[in-house]
Structure 1
Amino acid sequence: MNKRGQLLGLPLLLVFALIVGAFIMLYGAKVIYDLTQEANYVDFLDTLDDLDTNIQTFEAYDVGSSKVYALEFPDAVEMLCFYDSTQTDSCTLDGEVCSAELEGELILLESSEYNIFVLPSGLYERTRFTITSFQSLEGNPVCVSNGGSITIQSQKDFVGVAYYDTP
């Protein structure tokens, strides 16, 4: 018996196996990317929780106590803004007046329910947060670029947050 029809089946089987293998690799790459993004979000939330803990701690400290706190977030986070709904003041970014574009974006985000904003605003599923009550000392909101620093200062009746210019 001559088996000529089976000769075409083997190349088709190999091509099909290559296509399935490629899809499996693409799916694996997507899963790894998603896990990396989720890990960055969890790292961001851990840092934000640490900041909240530091601000809570300063509520019990003596008046005038202060600490420089470095804001080290994942690279995708451009800036963090501290907003106090009880104050009306001009927006500052790294100690200087905010651009009109940034002020416009912050107006869309501002709410009395939230006092921390992450920019860019669509970066994570949630980019507005509420942490322990504080007051901004230099502008409102006080925005600090990723990698910048803030000072947390204990005042008489509140904890103040201000941009810290590193030398």
Structure 2
Amino acid sequence: MSAPLRIGHGFDTHRLEAGDGVTLGGVRIACPYRIVAHSDGDVLIHALCDALLGAIGGGDIGRLFPDTDPQYRGIDSRRLLAEVMGRVDAAGYAVVNADLSLIAQVPRVASHVAAMREALAADLRVEPCCVNIKATTNEGMDAVGRKEGLSAHAVVLLQAR
């Protein structure tokens, strides 16, 4: 018998370099940086995917979508999330809620959080009130604080259908 509720946690981090914008939470944000990654590097979605996979005992996105596979070069992370949600469905679960934390000195995301919540809620098939996104800086400490990278954590709660 499967557990009626499952919790998963995910984490992701990527380097930043000079560029013309980043994608976070499925939303393109114009800024003088870009995320260095094989895919689009959306750390919020990558952490969310790992949380979902963790909750169903499905491994991690590095195993599922290896950066050595050319088909994932530059891929929109929302496509990866759709694949992960297919696995959540196949495991017999549905998302109850998701709580995400972005740790980044740059870019400032406050004005984009509502759009991120809308995009992710649609992908997770929940109401926007079931997706929470928080952002904090690293107070100038370490690589994130020096604007050399950014990180994200995600926690999800799944319920058996």
Shared fold (TM-score, shorter chain, > 0.5): no
Task: Looking at secondary structure, tell me which structure has more strand per residue.
Answer: 2
TM-score, normalised with respect to structure 2:
0.30
TM-score, normalised with respect to structure 1:
0.29
User: Highest relative contact order (Cα 8 Å, sep 6+), 1 or 2?
Assistant: 2
Larger Rg: 1
